[in-house]
Amino acid sequence: MKLVMGVDLETEVELSPAAKSEVAVFSPYSSPSTALLLQRRVVAWSKETGSPATVRVRLGDRSFDLHKDPLVSKCKYFSEASASIQSGDDDIELPASFPGVCEAFEAIALFCYGDAVALDPFNVAAVRCAAEFLGVAGLGARCDLYINQVVLQSWDDALIVLQRCQPLLPVAEELLIVSRCVESLAFMACMEILDPEQLRRDDLQPGGAGAATRALVGRRWDAELVKELAARDLWIKDLVALPFDFFERIVQALRRQGMKEKYVSPVVLFYANKWVLSKKTHKFWATTDDEAVDGETDANRRAAAILEGVIGLLPAESAAVAAGGAIPVAFYFALLSRSLTLELSDESRTKLREQVASNLQFARVDDLPLPEEEEADRSIADSREVRAMESIVSNHAASVQRRGVEAVSELWDRYLVQFAGDPKLRPERLAELIGVIPAGDRKTHNHLYEAINTYLVEHQGLSGEEKATLCGHLDCRKLSHEACIQAVQNERMPLRLIVQALFVQQLHTHRAFTECSDSFRCMHSGELVPGAGVYTPSPGCPAVPTSQPLSSSSPYDSHRGPRDAKLRARDDASDYETASFRIQALEQEIISLKQTLQRHNTLKGSASARRESKEPSFRVAADASTPAIIKRRATVSGSCIGSMRWGSQRRCASRILRVFARLAVFGRGRSRGKQSKCSAATEQPNCM
C-alpha cells in the first residue's frame, strides 16, 4: 500500500455528482479535490484504528460519515455536542447559519484528521469563517497569516477573496477580512495612479484614465462608448464588476487615502453606467431572474437601489469644481432621465435635482431629457421629462444665488424649440413654459422667437388673441437684426409685432448709419495725437479753431463718453415705448373708426330701405341721375380699414412707421415749426 500524506491512494472512492460539481466551482487550485482526499482519509482511519465512522454530519443536502475522536479533539463545536453523540450512528446537522460551502467543512475535517489544508484565494475566506464558527484551534491563525502575507499583496487575489466574502457576511466582516481587502485594493489603486509610467500613459495616450472622461465632454451620452472607455483601465474594470456594497467602501477608502477627485469620480461614473444606465444590464436582469414574479419590476428595484447609492457617492459641488470637470454634465442629465422611471427616496431625488441645477449653465440642449416615445393622448410638454426640467429650471430661477442666468435662459429657449412643433401642444401650456424664465433674464429673444414661430407654423388655426398672447412674450429690442428682418417678413406674426419689429429695425439701421458716418468723418477730418490731446487736421482739410471742442464740429461725434452712450440708449428705449404707445392708440382708433363706419352703413342701409319702400319712382330716378356719388361712397366703404387686405395693411403700416420715424428719430433736432408740420403729418394718416 502506497501512502502519500497519510492517504491510501489505492483506495478508490467515488464522489457524488453534487460533490463533483461543487468542487469544480469552488476552487480551481484544488488538485486532487478536497472531497476525494477526505473520503480516502476516512477509509484509511478506519483501517488503522479498526473503528468505523460513527458520526454523520449533515450540511444542506449532503452528509459526511466521520469518526468521533478526530472531530471532538479538534473542534470546539463538536466537543460541546459530544454529550449527544452515542456509540451508535448519530446525526449532527449543522445550522443554516454555517458560513461557507461544503468544501470549507471538508477542509476542516481533513485538518481534524491531521492533514494539511491547501489554502488558496478561492477557499481561504470560507475556511476562515467556518473555522471560527466550529472553533477549530490553530486553523484560523493559519488562514489570517495566508491572507496577510499572500492575498493582500496581490490585486487579483484580493479581488477574489473580496468577491468570495459576499455570501459569508456578516462573519467575514466581523473577522475583518472585508475591511483588509478593501484597504489593500484602495492602496494598490492609488499606487497604480501614482505610477510614473501610468501617468505618462494618461498624458500621452487617449485611453488613459485622465482622458477617458474628457472624451465624453460635449457629446451626447452613449452607454456603449462609456463602457469601452472603462475597459481601457483594468483596475477600473475590476472595481466596476464588484457588488455595490464593496464598491462603495472602496470608493470611500480611495478618497480617505488621498486619491484626487478627478480619478475617483470617473470610477463612480463607469459603475453607474454599467449597472444603472446600460439597457443591456436592465434587459439581462429582467429576463434571467427566475425567482422574481415580474422581471421588469425586479430589474427596476435593483437599479433604483444602486442609483441611490451612486447619488450618495457623487462629489459635492465644491469637489466637482476642484475635479476640473471629471464628470461630464451629460452624466447628471442621464441619471435624471433614468431616475424618472425608478422609485427613489425623496432625499435622493432632491439631491440629484440639485446636482442637475448646479450644472445647468454648462449643459447643452442635447443633454436635456426628452421622452423616447410619444404618447398618443398626451403632448411632449406634459411628459415627466419636460415637467422635471420645468421644476428644476423654475427652482433655479427662483433661487437666491443664481449663476449663469443668461446661459440657462438661452438653454431653456433652445429646449422649447425641440418640442414646439408638437401638434398636441396647447398654446396656454407653451405660454406657461415660456414664463418659467423671468422676462429680465433673457439677454436675447432669438430662440424664443424661433420656438413661437415653430409653434405658429404647426398650429395655423390659432385666433388673433392667442397669437397676441404668445407673441406678447417677445421683446423686439432683444431680437438680432436678422431676426427682426424675419419677423417683419413673417405673415404669421400679429400686426403689432410686425410694426414694433419695423421700428426696431429702423433704430438698428439708424444706429449703424450713425456709426458709419461718425467713422467716416473721423477718418477724413483728422486725428487726435495720443497723450497730447491736440487735434491735427488732415492735409487739405480746414483747421478747426483750438478754442472750439472737437465734439461740436459734428452732431454725430463717435468720441462721446459713456454718459452720452447711456443717454442715447435711454432715448432709444423712450422712443420705443412711445412708438408702442402710439401703435396701441392707433389700433384703438382704427377699431373705433371701423365700428363707427359699420354703424353708419347699417343705419344708412335701413334708411335707404325705408325710402325705397315709400318712393320707388324717385329712387330709380336718383339712381339714374347720381351714379358718381354712389360710386364714390361705395369706394369709401370698401376701402375702410376693417376690410383691407394684407398688402393694404402693410402699406398703411409702412406709412405710419415713416411718420413715427420722422417724429421719434429725426425730429429731435428740428425747430418747433418743423415739429408742428410733423404733428400735422401724423394727424393726417390717423384721419385715414
Dihedral sign, Cα of residue 272, residue 276, residue 249, residue 185: negative
Dihedral sign, Cα of residue 430, residue 433, residue 437, residue 439: positive
Give me the mean pLDDT over the 223-250 stretch. 88
Question: CB–CB of 353/343 below 8 Å?
Answer: no
Which amino acid is located at 581 in the chain?
Answer: F
Residue from 513, 521, 576 nearest 544 by CA = 521
The cell for 378 is 398626451
The pLDDT tens digits of the residues spanning 274-313 come to 999 998 888 888 887 655 556 788 889 999 999 999 999 9
3-state secondary structure of 57: strand
pLDDT of residue 38: 86
Residue from 101, 81, 100, 108 nearest 92 by CA = 81
Omega of the bond prior to 369 within 30 degrees of 0, cis? Answer: no
Q: 8: part of which helix (H) or strand (E)?
A: strand 7-8
Residue 241 predicted with pLDDT over 60? yes
Kindly list the domain boundaries of the chain, sorted by start residue. 34-176, 195-358, 368-520
The pLDDT tens digits of the residues spanning 336-348 come to 999 999 999 999 9
620: Cβ contacts below 8 Å, ≥ 6 apart: none
Q: State how far the Cα of 162 lies from the Cα of 121, in Å rounded to an integer.
A: 9
CB atoms within 10 A of CB 355: 21
Beta-bridge partner residues of 64:
57
pLDDT of residue 672: 44
Q: Which of 47-51, 227-231, 450-454, 572-576 has the lowest mean pLDDT?
A: 572-576
The pLDDT tens digits of the residues spanning 154-193 come to 999 999 999 999 999 999 999 999 999 999 999 999 988 7
pLDDT of residue 86: 54
Helices (H), ranges, 550-645: 562-614, 616-625, 627-638
pLDDT of residue 6: 33
The cell for 284 is 439581462
Residue 612 predicted with pLDDT over 90? no
Q: State how far the Cα of 173 lies from the Cα of 5, in Å rounded to an integer.
A: 34
Question: CB–CB of 298/285 below 8 Å?
Answer: yes
Residue 564 predicted with pLDDT over 60? no
Question: CB–CB of 19/60 below 8 Å?
Answer: no
CB atoms within 10 A of CB 506: 19
Beta-bridge partner residues of 91:
56
Using CB atoms within 10 A of its CB, is residue 310 exposed (0-12), middle (13-18) or buried (19+)? buried
Q: State how far the Cα of 262 lies from the Cα of 444, in Å rounded to an integer.
A: 36
Residue 349 predicted with pLDDT over 80? yes
Question: CB–CB of 289/298 below 8 Å?
Answer: yes
Question: CB–CB of 120/29 below 8 Å?
Answer: yes
Question: CB–CB of 147/124 below 8 Å?
Answer: yes
Residue 205 predicted with pLDDT over 80? no
pLDDT of residue 421: 92
pLDDT of residue 428: 93
Question: CB–CB of 416/434 below 8 Å?
Answer: yes
Q: State how far the Cα of 115 lies from the Cα of 41, in Å rounded to an integer.
A: 9
The two counts, helices (H) then strands (E), for the chain are 33, 7
Q: In what order do the strands lie in the sheet with 90-93?
A: 62-66, 55-59, 90-93
Q: State how far the Cα of 604 lies from the Cα of 579, in Å rounded to an integer.
A: 36
Residue from 214, 409, 209 nearest 329 by CA = 214
pLDDT of residue 9: 33
Beta-bridge partner residues of 136:
75
CB atoms within 10 A of CB 316: 11
Q: State how far the Cα of 462 lies from the Cα of 425, in Å rounded to an integer.
A: 12
Q: State how far the Cα of 15 lies from the Cα of 148, in Å rounded to an integer.
A: 34
Q: State how far the Cα of 97 lies from the Cα of 270, in Å rounded to an integer.
A: 35
Distances (CA, A) of 388 to 309, 336, 337, 360: 21, 9, 9, 13
Which amino acid is located at 348 in the chain?
Answer: S
The cell for 5 is 500524506
Q: Report the first-to-last Cα separation within the chain, whole angstroms.
A: 130
3-state secondary structure of 66: strand
515: Cβ contacts below 8 Å, ≥ 6 apart: 558
The pLDDT tens digits of the residues spanning 508-543 come to 777 777 777 666 566 655 444 444 444 444 444 444
Residue from 489, 428, 423, 412 nearest 454 by CA = 423
Which amino acid is located at 163 in the chain?
Answer: Q
Whole-model pTM: value is: 0.70
Residue 204 half-sphere exposure toward CB, CA atoms < 13 A = 6
Length of the chain: 688
What class does CATH assign to 34-176?
alpha beta
Residue showing cell 449643459: 363
Q: State how far the Cα of 262 lies from the Cα of 324, in Å rounded to an integer.
A: 7
Give me the mean pLDDT over the 561-587 stretch. 56
Q: State how far the Cα of 659 lies from the Cα of 679, in Å rounded to an integer.
A: 9
- Share the mean pLDDT of the chain: 75
568: Cβ contacts below 8 Å, ≥ 6 apart: 560
The cell for 194 is 501614482
Q: What is the DSSP string of 510-550?
A: HHHHHHHHHHHHHHHHEEEPTTT--EEEPTTSPPPPTTS-G
Q: State how far the Cα of 366 lies from the Cα of 394, in Å rounded to an integer.
A: 19
The pLDDT tens digits of the residues spanning 389-424 come to 999 999 998 887 778 899 999 999 999 999 999 999
3-state secondary structure of 90: strand
The cell for 268 is 463612480
Distances (CA, A) of 4 to 1, 67, 186, 362: 10, 21, 42, 71
Q: State how far the Cα of 500 lies from the Cα of 581, in Å rounded to an integer.
A: 11
Q: Which residue has the higher pLDDT, 10 or 583?
A: 583
pLDDT of residue 234: 85
